[in-house]
Amino acid sequence: MGQAGRYELKYVVDEERAVAVADYCRAFLRPSVHNKDTPTRGHPVMSIYMDSPDYFLFRQAYYGHLNRIKLRIRCYDDHWERPAFFEIKRRVMDVICKDRAMLSRDALEFFLNTSWPNPAGWPDPARMVHGKRRLDIAYKFWSLCNAIKAQPMIYVSYLREIYEGENDEELRVTFDRHVSATPAQGVGLPSFVNGMGYEGHGLGKFTAPERAIPPRPDRWPYYLPFDGVVLELKYEERAPRWMYDMVRYFNLQRRFMCKYAACIDSMELQWGKFPLGEEEQRLVMVGYD
């Protein structure tokens, strides 16, 4: 799957307002088939974020670079027979572009447990999911990781509730709850257990670990309350009129929120590991939108 680009506007709201916004969206969008009719109001999203040893991609996000990328490996459920995805997410000014390649969990395990990325982990067509191999994206993902010597840095998980357009797959409103993370412990799939997990295949489980923690609520520039919901409005060219009305009616205040950077920052994994450059020091002092 690839896309030319879309806009993603982010807000952080409390649970009561999130429920009200979701009810409003039902008049214009349909609930995703992935939504669960449970008190959690969403389905699990689990990601391994790749980064360089000096957190180059984290710094791009934290200091507000308008042209940046994220590299992640994502799953949406805990079934070993279902696929995983390589994802390259790029921001070019205000436009978000995302490319993804589907692969099997066996392939994911193979890549992560051969000190990937390296020549031994070069994407093998036989291990890609038939029909949606997108080897061009898999090669690009591998090349980008190899260029910065990326390795698994952190597991980020949350529950996502989705509302989407009837005839426009890029028109979506999402609600992310219970954002939490844990540092990656070496190379390979995580071996932790919790209620969202499944019994082991290979080296372990690809799921949110038991000891995952939420981002700290007092860290600049995120200020994500423990009970906060990350609301995202997504559209391709122009937001529909009802979306503008919704922002005004619910007094939504747009803000910067990168879940990967928020989790790295809250655990202070990066501090003391690299000096701040002059431009980065200036951005920290003045802040950014």
Average pLDDT, stretch 116-142? 65
Interhelix angle 15-25/241-249, rounded to 10 degrees, is 150
Q: Are 123 and 142 in contact (CB under 8 A)?
A: yes
**DSSP secondary structure letters along 29-58:** SEEPTT--SSTT-SEEEEEEEEE-TT-HHH
Query: Is the CA virtual torsion 190, 42, 87, 134 positive or negative?
Result: positive
Domain region containing 258: 7-286
On whether residue 1 sits in a domain, the answer given is no
Which residue, among 8, 36, 289, has the nearest Cα to 162 in the 3D structure?
Answer: 36
- CATH code of the domain in which 214 resides: 3.20.100.30
117-127 pLDDT tens trace? 555 555 555 65
Phi and psi angles of residue 208, each rounded to the nearest 5 degrees, phi first: -70, 125
The total number of structural domains in the chain stands at 1
Q: Are 154 and 263 in contact (CB under 8 A)?
A: yes
On whether residue 224 sits in a domain, the answer given is yes
143-153 pLDDT tens trace? 898 889 888 88
On whether residue 110 sits in a domain, the answer given is yes
- Return the SS3 of 187: coil
Q: What is the pLDDT of residue 266?
A: 80
C-alpha–C-alpha distance, residues 198 and 201, integer Å: 9
Question: What angle (nearest 5°) sits at the alpha carbon of residue 262, between those of residues 255 and 196?
Answer: 115
On whether residue 203 sits in a domain, the answer given is yes
On whether residue 2 sits in a domain, the answer given is no
Query: Is the CA virtual torsion 92, 94, 100, 106 positive or negative?
Result: positive
Q: Are 152 and 74 in contact (CB under 8 A)?
A: no
Is the pLDDT score of 241 beyond 90?
yes
Q: Are 84 and 104 in contact (CB under 8 A)?
A: yes
On whether residue 159 sits in a domain, the answer given is yes
Lowest mean pLDDT among 119-128, 188-197, 252-261: 188-197
Is the pLDDT score of 105 beyond 90?
no
Q: What percent of the chain has pLDDT over 90?
A: 24
Phi and psi angles of residue 31, each rounded to the nearest 5 degrees, phi first: -65, 140
37-75 pLDDT tens trace? 666 678 888 899 999 988 999 988 888 788 899 999 998
On whether residue 30 sits in a domain, the answer given is yes
C-alpha–C-alpha distance, residues 261 and 53, integer Å: 15
Contact partners, residue 160, CB within 8 Å, separation at least 6: 34, 42, 43, 44, 45, 174, 175, 176, 177
On whether residue 101 sits in a domain, the answer given is yes
Strand locations in the chain, DSSP E? 7-13, 30-31, 43-51, 67-75, 84-92, 95-103, 151-164, 172-183, 229-235
Is the pLDDT score of 195 beyond 50?
no
